[in-house]
Amino acid sequence: MKRKEIRFAGFGGQGIILAGLITARAITLFDKKESVFTQSYGPEARGGACSAGIVVDEKGVDYPYVLKPDVLVVMSKEAFKTYVPKMNPRGILIVDKDIVKVTKNHLPPKVRVFKIPATRLAEELGNRIAANIIMLGYFTKVTGLVSPEGMKESIKTLVPPKFIELNLKAYEVGYEYGNEGGK
């Protein structure tokens, strides 16, 4: 696989940084590819802008920062406005469709858009905070950049033990949504 750039973006409290870390760990430790993880967040404890960047390259990462994401996962309106103009014009955009409204005039013409009601599905599971993990399941299915097994193993190593079952269930909800052709 040649260099791929991934960015997760939203606001503090949505688990954006954790989603990026889980993904980077899955890619590196479980799928045995080279990756670099970076994070950015505002000074607010919750509610401020944040993003996580992952660069993947099987031959080694020569520059660690995401410049033009090939895959952009967006969980807030502000993140959409900030990062869509910077994405690869032939990239993949994944959004929480109840939070981010996408119209064609906001996008380069070749961007492929995938939509999932991640927050709503998390609320149906009984825990809104699991929206980031639902998004990871969907991301895994629609991009194919990381193995489902690697992602599940990474989740197990990074979430607190008492929340592993909930998070694995949330992951499956997102993955199945992708299986059902959810757009």
Q: Is the pLDDT of residue 45 over 60?
A: no
CATH 3.30.70.360 applies to domain 4-179? no
**Residue whose C-alpha is closest to residue 3's, from 39, 29, 27:** 27
Q: What distances in angstroms separate CA 78 from CA 54, 94, 170, one per listed residue? A: 20, 15, 25
Q: What integer pLDDT is reported at residue 103 of this predicted model? A: 77
d(CA 16, CA 42): 13
Share of the chain above pLDDT 90, in %: 81
What's the angle, vertex CA 24, arms to CA 34 and CA 145, rounded to 5?
A: 75
Which residue intervals of 38-147 are DSSP H helices?
77-83, 118-125, 131-143
d(CA 80, CA 99): 10
Q: What integer pLDDT is reported at residue 171 of this predicted model? A: 98
Specify whether the CB–CB gap between 139 and 23 falls below 8 A.
yes
Mean pLDDT, range 165-169, rounded to an integer: 97
pLDDT digits (tens, 9 = 90+) for 141-151: 999 999 999 99
Spans of all domains in the chain: 4-179
pTM of the model: 0.93
d(CA 134, CA 28): 21
Provide the mean pLDDT of the chain.
92
pLDDT digits (tens, 9 = 90+) for 119-147: 999 999 999 999 999 999 999 999 999 99
Q: Is the pLDDT of residue 44 over 60?
A: no
More confident residue, 67 or 47: 67
Q: What integer pLDDT is reported at residue 151 of this predicted model? A: 98
